[in-house]
């Protein structure tokens, strides 16, 4: 696929032509005829990358190569489940230096365990935060979001949204008992609420597969459980919904979405992972994404 052909500029040009045709059509048709022939609007999309602490520091030259390749936004991991991403602020600043839009995400843990040096990570040669996990100073998703906010520093103001990463990163499977499920749902709800408290648009990053939304929350689209209904009512809020950043490998497009969980559509799609591109040093990677650009223009309530 030609990445450059999907840039904002090229798409705006095509949208301009489409808009002109639509105006002419409406002018010659009666109101009833126009309504009958109106079709669902196709979202304007753009390509971008997401990065984490494994990506490491990114030079200006690499950011220029990213931008020239047609990537138009960067999403940085701010909290990695056990520790902050010490590169988050500089990664987003580097992306903005070449004109890219930015956002962030927070990977939740559900056992309230963190690295001993979570705020200033000391890492092993493999990149893991060294030392056996210790209890979080405060339990729950709110504290974890605040750690991500701290990692973003001055770049928080420019981040269009903060996504909550709902995936299971431990080797053992998620416990399926009712108490464990309720605790995980509460952690997600608290994380969403904390993002809103910082006047940022919350997004959920997850997928329709094992060790993601269904296994972690136990909630299907039709779950009658009170806790599931409460969680879904927040995600489906009529005035402030929490959109989905989906994980679905394939083409760089939002089409073909198969509804899952509380979502009937997706605002973003991670379509390729662990790519060593754009002149990054060997062994350092990024993930590739496509998003509806509207998410990068948050409502006044979140500014």
pTM (two decimals): 0.85
Measured CA to CA, the distance from residue 95 to residue 110 in angstroms comes to 31
Report pLDDT for 298: 65
Q: Which domains does the chain have, with CATH numbers?
A: 1-42 (no CATH), 47-302 (3.20.20.80)
Cβ-contact 179, 273 below 8 angstroms: no
Q: How far is CA 139 from CA 106, 113, 151, 203, 212, in A?
A: 15, 9, 18, 21, 21
Per-residue pLDDT tens for 132-168? 999 999 999 999 999 999 999 999 999 999 999 999 9
Segment holding 9, helix H or strand E: helix 8-28
Report pLDDT for 126: 85
Measured CA to CA, the distance from residue 270 to residue 290 in angstroms comes to 7
Report pLDDT for 299: 59
Report pLDDT for 51: 98
Residues of the chain with pLDDT under 70: 1-41, 298-303
């Amino acid at each position: 696929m030609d990445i450059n052909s999907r840039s904002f500029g090229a798409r705006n040009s095509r949208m301009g032509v489409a808009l002109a045709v639509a105006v002419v059509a409406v002018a010659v048709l009666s109101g009833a005829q126009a309504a009958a022939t109106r079709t669902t609007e196709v979202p304007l999309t753009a390509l971008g990358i997401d990065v984490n602490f494994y990506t490491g520091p990114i030079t200006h030259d690499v950011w220029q190569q990213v931008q020239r390749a047609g990537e138009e936004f960067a999403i940085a991991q701010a909290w990695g489940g056990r520790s902050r991403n010490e590169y988050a602020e500089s990664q987003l600043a580097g992306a903005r230096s070449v004109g890219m839009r930015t956002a962030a995400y927070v990977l939740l843990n559900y056992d309230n365990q963190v690295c001993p040096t979570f705020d200033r990570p000391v890492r092993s040669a493999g990149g893991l935060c060294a030392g056996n996990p210790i209890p979080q100073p405060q339990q729950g998703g709110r504290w974890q979001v605040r750690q991500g906010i701290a990692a973003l520093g001055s770049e928080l103001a420019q981040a269009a949204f903060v996504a909550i990463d709902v995936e299971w990163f431990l080797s053992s499977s998620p416990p399926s008992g009712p108490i464990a499920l309720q605790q995980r749902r509460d952690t997600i709800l608290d994380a969403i609420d904390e993002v809103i408290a910082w006047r940022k648009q919350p997004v959920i990053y997850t997928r329709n597969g094992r060790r993601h939304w269904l296994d972690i929350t136990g909630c299907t689209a039709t779950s009658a459980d009170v806790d599931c209904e409460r969680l879904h009512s927040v995600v489906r809020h009529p005035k402030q919904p929490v959109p989905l950043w989906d994980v679905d490998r394939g083409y760089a497009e939002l089409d073909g979405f198969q509804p899952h969980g509380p979502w009937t559509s997706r605002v973003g799609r991670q379509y390729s992972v662990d790519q060593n591109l754009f002149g990054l040093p060997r062994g350092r990677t990024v993930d590739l994404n496509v998003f509806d650009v509207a998410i990068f223009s948050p409502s006044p309530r979140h500014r």
